[in-house]
Amino acid sequence: MDYSKGSSVFTVPKTAPIRVGFVGLNATKGWAIKTHYPAILQLSSQFQITALYSPEIETSIATIQRLKLGNATAFPTLKSFASSATVDMIVVTIQVSSHYEVLMSLLKYSRSNPNFKYLFVEWALACSLDQAESIYKAAAERGLQTIISLQGRKSPYILRAKELISQGYIGDINSIEIAGNGGWYGYERPAKSPKYIYEMGNGVDLVSTTFGHTIDILQYMTSSYFSRIHAMVFNNIPEQELIDEYGNRLGQRVPKTVPDHLLFQGTLLNGNVPVSCSFKGGKPTKKFTKNLVIDIHGTKGDLKLEGDAGFAEISNLVLYYSGMSENDFPSANGQQPRVGSGYDAGKEIMEVYHLRSYNAVIGNIHRLYQSISDFHYNTKKISALPSQFVMQGFDFEGFPTFMDALILHRLIESVYRSNMMGSTLNVSNISHCSL
Amino acid sequence: MDYSKGSSVFTVPKTAPIRVGFVGLNATKGWAIKTHYPAILQLSSQFQITALYSPEIETSIATIQRLKLGNATAFPTLKSFASSATVDMIVVTIQVSSHYEVLMSLLKYSRSNPNFKYLFVEWALACSLDQAESIYKAAAERGLQTIISLQGRKSPYILRAKELISQGYIGDINSIEIAGNGGWYGYERPAKSPKYIYEMGNGVDLVSTTFGHTIDILQYMTSSYFSRIHAMVFNNIPEQELIDEYGNRLGQRVPKTVPDHLLFQGTLLNGNVPVSCSFKGGKPTKKFTKNLVIDIHGTKGDLKLEGDAGFAEISNLVLYYSGMSENDFPSANGQQPRVGSGYDAGKEIMEVYHLRSYNAVIGNIHRLYQSISDFHYNTKKISALPSQFVMQGFDFEGFPTFMDALILHRLIESVYRSNMMGSTLNVSNISHCSL
């Protein structure tokens, strides 16, 4: 597999780095400083931060000083930021609820920046399917190469599982079970936790985040979208107890409108495979199972992915594989598999894949930046590399785009619609690229 | 808990045993000789086999000789069997597809047997809800005490789990996941396996048997029926490969019309608890999980039940419990719980409950007979014990009846209807006793 050779981006001769402008990088708090920034630091020949925008310019100036971003400018307005020709790539890592407004403005103002080529936005892209469609359209009209942070696709565990599946090591998949635990949405809420993640419609909840990332990963691993789905969405905990940082209850109850449980079941387009999912909120109380368990059963073997947190895209996982060793030699290029030959033929084999000190929070984002760099510099020497690509789909190479995000938004919208209507929905068309 | 004291039936002074007539006991094959017969053997003061019926009387005669049933008569016709006054209890352990015809005849002919009091029928009672209703009605009109072999309710693991739940040891249940494996319905079929279990409509399939028993057990443990359900039923393996007793393929493919997968999700009436179920066919290939896993999560603790086979009612299980020791002292009789007091208060506690040499196949049926005996002799000295009871519902004491079977049939019918209609169904009324 080519993908497992990894990126050879580090061997790229010194060229002009991709100049990055951030909306949302703050040296002292937030997601970008914990993930995007360390990811970029490790790719300093390929990416250079040249611009920052924040509603308060003092924040950007402080961040530039603190991080010693010698080549970066703090812009006073979104307009000046977006239209500056010093930026090749814009990364947006603010609250999802602000995405639509900021992105639509960015896309408008950026028309006067001839160098603007890459737009990298954090999942969930937008708070609704409608907004996501508008953003997708505007970015497509602008001719941009888009990137969405569905970074679970870059997890080494997910790629190894995808490889085992695609090479036939578990035969035909015949059933899948997923159980995940999204810690935030339970009985207690840390008093310091931002309110918006407990309010419906802000694009960060058990369905969009926990389910969204995980089901995207599942589809990616199995190389299949869904054909039919059914969902039940629960808000069984309409009020939460505030707790302090030591877990003590503060005697105050606050409303919660986001879901705390999702039941989802459906069939994969490929093979009509039954898939059963249960995503729960609440602090992990699952003593006898991990907070994320993905079981993929096939006619010739099984895969199990386990994680300590219910968020597959930011968790260090363990991948278990079991099958028969006759599968060691899958047929390829029309050759007959060497079934039954060899010392261990027909014996049961097992693989446990775990990178003990892998930091998945940074690592998966880092690998996403690597992929962008691979694309930009054509590190992998792909002949006739397109100047832009619409979607990753289920390719090993590349990176997820706004189209991949849009397809996932359609699935999420179907989840809510199925719950509202109490119906099984046919979703076999949602992966079509057309709007 | 009274139930855990077990039956004191063995101390009952010698009285007249319950005289049992069997339809379906064969010394050389079938279910009854492996389960009902050894179960009764251990209760020889309470039950005595006095009558056998089989379409071929030679079978009954041979069984009487082989088992040395000195008090038993082989009857030549169902009519003579049913009308014989030497029988207090009739046990029917034939193929479910014959239940309706045999039971309706039995109930008609038995009018001339004044001693006929107990009718014990193997699950699934009948092949359809309609048939089950007719049988229920006829038995009710006849004034019989009915018993159905939903024997999982008698499993010591299920009763211990039910006890832990009912005493508040896991707090309020907030989510449940079940994954089961029904071995028969996969890619391969033993050539000696009877054809009828692979043909739709015979009352023994993944939905009626594997799901039926397991979901009955779940409802019983949690003391709750379902309010809303949704199901998807699959027959992804319409043809099976015949194999010999060594697992070698015989090169012959045979049709299968029964399901090989069931996805089921819904909410419990009590607490709107989300329940996720996946039942698959096929020989166990689940290397990283047991063939039966029931996870019950609560606000204060967790329960996990695991079994090697996907049939909870006949599997020896392992029960895991974890919670906080403050729950050691649940409030009872209006007393305040002694929360926070005592040496181990607030510490995490765990219990693993497993009877290493428990034979669940016989044991659960044996305990069902014990319950019948407890009822008949009023072993437990219950004042004002009714002469008959309509249903067990969720009581610790007693035994499941045709009404319990009927309620389960309604759920199973809803499963197929939900699958056909592609709809979430409201099933909150199906536990009402009226027809």
Q: Residue A423 has what DSSP assignment?
A: B
The answer to whether A263 contacts B261, with C-beta atoms less than 8 Å apart, is no
The answer to whether A297 contacts B277, with C-beta atoms less than 8 Å apart, is no
The answer to whether A299 contacts B234, with C-beta atoms less than 8 Å apart, is no
The answer to whether A285 contacts B265, with C-beta atoms less than 8 Å apart, is no
pLDDT of B335 above 80: no
**A contacts of B320 (beta carbons < 8 Å):** 287-288
A187, A288, A350 ranked by CB distance to B304: nearest: A288
Q: Is A426 helix (H, G, I), strand (E, B) or coil?
A: strand
- Nearest-neighbour CA in chain B from A218: distance (Å): 17
Among B264, B265, B292, B325, which would you mutate to test the A interface (most chain A Cβ atoms within 10 Å of its Cβ)?
A: B265
pLDDT of B158 above 90: yes
Look at residue A308 in the predicted model and tell me its pLDDT: 85
Task: Kindly identify which residue of chain B lies nearest to residue A188, measuring between CA atoms.
Answer: B299
Distance CA B26, CA B62 (A): 8
Q: How confident is the model over B360-380, as a mean pLDDT?
A: 94
Q: Residue A3 has what DSSP assignment?
A: G
The C-alpha angle with vertex A320 and arms to A315 and A321, in degrees rounded to 5, equals: 140
Look at residue A8 in the predicted model and tell me its pLDDT: 61
pLDDT band at B384 (very low <50, low <70, confident <90, very high): confident
Question: Domains, chain A, ranges and CATH?
Answer: 18-150+376-401 (3.40.50.720), 153-355+409-419 (3.30.360.10)
| Cβ density class A190-212: b for 16+ within 10 Å, e for less | eeeeeeebbeeebbbbbbbbbbb
User: Which residue has 């649940």 as its token pair?
Assistant: B330
Percent of chain B with pLDDT over 70: 90
The answer to whether A289 contacts B272, with C-beta atoms less than 8 Å apart, is no
Higher-confidence residue of A411 and B350: namely A411
Among A169, A173, A174, A299, which would you mutate to test the B interface (most chain B Cβ atoms within 10 Å of its Cβ)?
A: A174
Look at residue A275 in the predicted model and tell me its pLDDT: 98
The answer to whether A298 contacts B304, with C-beta atoms less than 8 Å apart, is no
Highest mean pLDDT among A389-403, B309-323, B344-358: A389-403
Please check whether residue A24 touches B, CB under 8 A. Answer: no
Look at residue B282 in the predicted model and tell me its pLDDT: 74
Task: Kindly identify which residue of chain A lies nearest to residue B261, measuring between CA atoms.
Answer: A274
A232, A282, A287 ranked by CB distance to B265: nearest: A232
Distance CA B137, CA B144 (A): 10
Please check whether residue A248 touches B, CB under 8 A. Answer: no
pLDDT of B2 above 70: no
Please check whether residue B276 touches A, CB under 8 A. Answer: yes
Query: Which H or E run contains A165?
Result: helix A156-166
Please check whether residue A282 touches B, CB under 8 A. Answer: yes
B175, B264, B304 ranked by CB distance to A261: nearest: B175
Is the pTM above the cut of 0.90? Answer: yes
- Spell out where A132-209 has E strands: 145-148, 173-182, 188-190
Interface size, chain A vs chain B, as Cβ–Cβ contacts under 8 Å: 141
A267, A285, A320 ranked by CB distance to B288: nearest: A320
Q: And the tokens for B389?
A: 């009871």
How do residues B182-210 score in pLDDT, each as one tens digit? Answer: 877 889 999 999 899 999 999 899 999 99
- Taking a C-beta distance cutoff of 8 angstroms, is the pair A327, A343 a contact? no
CA atoms within 13 A on the CB side of B293: 19
- Taking a C-beta distance cutoff of 8 angstroms, is the pair B129, B413 a contact? yes
Task: Kindly identify which residue of chain A lies nearest to residue B276, measuring between CA atoms.
Answer: A278
Among A237, A268, A287, A351, which would you mutate to test the B interface (most chain B Cβ atoms within 10 Å of its Cβ)?
A: A287
pLDDT in 10s for each residue of chain A, 435 residues: 455 555 565 656 567 999 999 999 999 999 999 999 999 999 999 999 999 999 999 999 999 999 999 999 999 999 999 999 999 999 999 999 999 999 999 999 999 999 999 999 999 999 999 999 999 999 999 999 999 999 999 999 999 999 999 999 999 999 999 999 887 788 999 999 989 999 999 989 999 999 999 999 999 999 999 999 999 999 999 999 999 999 899 999 999 999 999 999 999 999 999 999 999 987 655 568 888 999 999 988 999 999 988 888 899 999 999 987 654 444 444 444 444 455 666 677 889 999 999 999 999 999 999 999 999 999 888 888 888 889 999 999 999 999 999 999 999 999 999 999 999 999 999 988 666
Least confident of A99-113, A122-136, B132-146, B270-284: B270-284
Residue whose C-alpha is closest to residue B149's, from B283, B24, B10, B16: B24
The answer to whether B304 contacts A289, with C-beta atoms less than 8 Å apart, is yes
Assign 3-class secondary structure to chain B. CCHHHCCCHHHCCCCCCEEEEEECCCCCCCCCCCCHHHHHHCCCCCEEEEEEECCCHHHHHHHHHHHCCCCCEEECCHHHHHHCCCCCEEEECCCHHHHHHHHHHHHHHHHHCCCCCEEEECCCCCCCHHHHHHHHHHHHHCCCEEEECCHHHHCHHHHHHHHHHHCCCCCCEEEEEEEEEEHHHCCEEECCCCHHHHCCCCCCCHHHHHHHHHHHHHHHHHCCCEEEEEEEEECCCCEEEEECCCCCEEEEEEECCCCCEEEEEEEECCCCCEEEEEEEECCCCCCCCCCEEEEEEECCEEEEEEECCCCCCCCCEEEEEEEEHHHHCCCCCCCCCCCCCCCCCCCEEEEEECCCCCCHHHHHHHHHHHHHHHHHHCCCCCCCCCCCCCCCCCCCCCCCCHHHHHHHHHHHHHHHHHHHHCECEECCCCCCCCC
Look at residue B342 in the predicted model and tell me its pLDDT: 56
Distance CA A21, CA A42 (A): 17
Please check whether residue B257 touches A, CB under 8 A. Answer: no
Look at residue B182 in the predicted model and tell me its pLDDT: 82
Least confident of A318-322, B80-84, B324-328: B324-328
B232, B287, B295 ranked by CB distance to A274: nearest: B232
Look at residue A334 in the predicted model and tell me its pLDDT: 44
**Residue A330: exposure state from Cβ atoms within 10 A (0-12, 13-18, ≥19):** middle
Please check whether residue A252 touches B, CB under 8 A. Answer: no
**B contacts of A206 (beta carbons < 8 Å):** none
Q: And the tokens for A225?
A: 């979208």
Task: Kindly identify which residue of chain B lies nearest to residue A299, measuring between CA atoms.
Answer: B285
- Nearest-neighbour CA in chain A from B350: distance (Å): 9
**What is the ipTM for the molecules in this complex?**
0.91
The C-alpha angle with vertex B389 and arms to B364 and B359, in degrees rounded to 5, equals: 5
Least confident of A13-22, B290-299, B331-340: B331-340
- A418: amino acid identity, one letter: S
User: Which residue has 């049992």 as its token pair?
Assistant: B20
**A contacts of B175 (beta carbons < 8 Å):** 261, 278, 280
